[in-house]
Amino acid sequence: DKMGKFLQADGGTIFLDEIATASQQLQVKLLRVLQDREFEPVGGTKTHKVDCRLVLATNENLEQMVAEGKFRQDLYYRINVISLTQPPLRERVGDIPLLAEHYLQHFIEQVGKQMEGIDDEAIQLMQRYSWPGNVRELVNVIERAVVLANSKRITVNDLPDSIHKQIDAGNVAAHFAGNNLKSALANPERQILIEALEAHGWNRQQTAKMLGVNRTTLYKKMKKFEITFEKCHN
């Protein structure tokens, strides 16, 4: 018989990530472990006593999930003894260089590749990104960069398109900074329209919203300046 995780952790600590995704069945088992310090292994009938500390993590709002009936209230109160909140990575931009360097060294050793570091421009670009996937996304970005890099340093060219597109969209939005299309006519209008479309992947609805015009106006402007995806990419 395989020894279950709780038996392996007897007398120690067990870490359960993404607890918000636990099924109702698993939630019941966890509650039993916390209340009675006992459980039955999957497929087993014998009850085992266990004494271990539980550390759980989630990026969901468990209190809200309880209110919506998606998470057991009794379990929530059992696990919510000491709560530590980790701010999202976008609010800890000062940590990005340290984390990036740490995982760079990790993947250099794992891949067996000779690299010297990360360019300052690449670090600055990462610090301007919002990181919706938090540290896990950063880890994936660094791993990808190590694998694909053609030089001994990671450059902005080694970062994924998702980062570049978000930064480009932010630059275009900042360009308008509360102004609408009419107030931007002092600039080359055709180029502004193309930059806005590129920043939003040629999504007309999102582009029009960012420019502060309706889609009909945007279509008319595109027709006036003969702007099409094909012409701009040939």
pLDDT greater than 80 at residue 111: yes
Beta strands in 59-122 (DSSP E): 117-118
- The whole-number pLDDT of residue 186 equals 47
What digits encode the pLDDT tens for the residues 35-55?
A: 888 877 666 677 788 888 889
Find the mean pLDDT for residues 149-166: 88
What digits encode the pLDDT tens for the residues 181-229?
A: 555 554 567 777 887 887 777 888 888 887 878 888 889 888 888 888 8
Q: How far is CA 73 from CA 36, 45, 55, 70, 154, in A?
A: 17, 27, 18, 9, 47
**Contact between 162 and 201 (Cβ < 8 Å):** no
Give backbone dihedrals phi and psi of 111, rounded to 5 degrees, phi first: -85, -25
pLDDT band at 230 (very low <50, low <70, confident <90, very high): confident
- The whole-number pLDDT of residue 77 equals 93
Domains in the chain, CATH or no CATH each: 5-79 (3.40.50.300), 89-159 (1.10.8.60), 164-232 (1.10.10)
* Selected residue with higher pLDDT from 156 and 170: 156
Task: Return the SS3 of 30.
Answer: helix
What digits encode the pLDDT tens for the residues 112-156?
A: 998 999 999 899 888 888 888 889 999 999 999 999 998 999 999
Query: Max alpha carbon distance in the chain (Å)?
Result: 78
Written as one string, the DSSP assignment of 106-132 is HHHHHHT----EE-HHHHHHHHHS--T
Q: Which of 151, 142, 159 is nearest to 104 (CA)?
A: 142
Give backbone dihedrals phi and psi of 153, rounded to 5 degrees, phi first: -130, 145
State how far the Cα of 142 lies from the Cα of 126, in Å rounded to an integer.
Answer: 11
- The whole-number pLDDT of residue 213 equals 82
- The whole-number pLDDT of residue 140 equals 96
This prediction's pTM: 0.57
Residue 1 neighbours by CB under 8 Å, 6+ apart: 41, 44
- The whole-number pLDDT of residue 21 equals 93
Q: Whose structure tokens read 């053609």?
A: 150
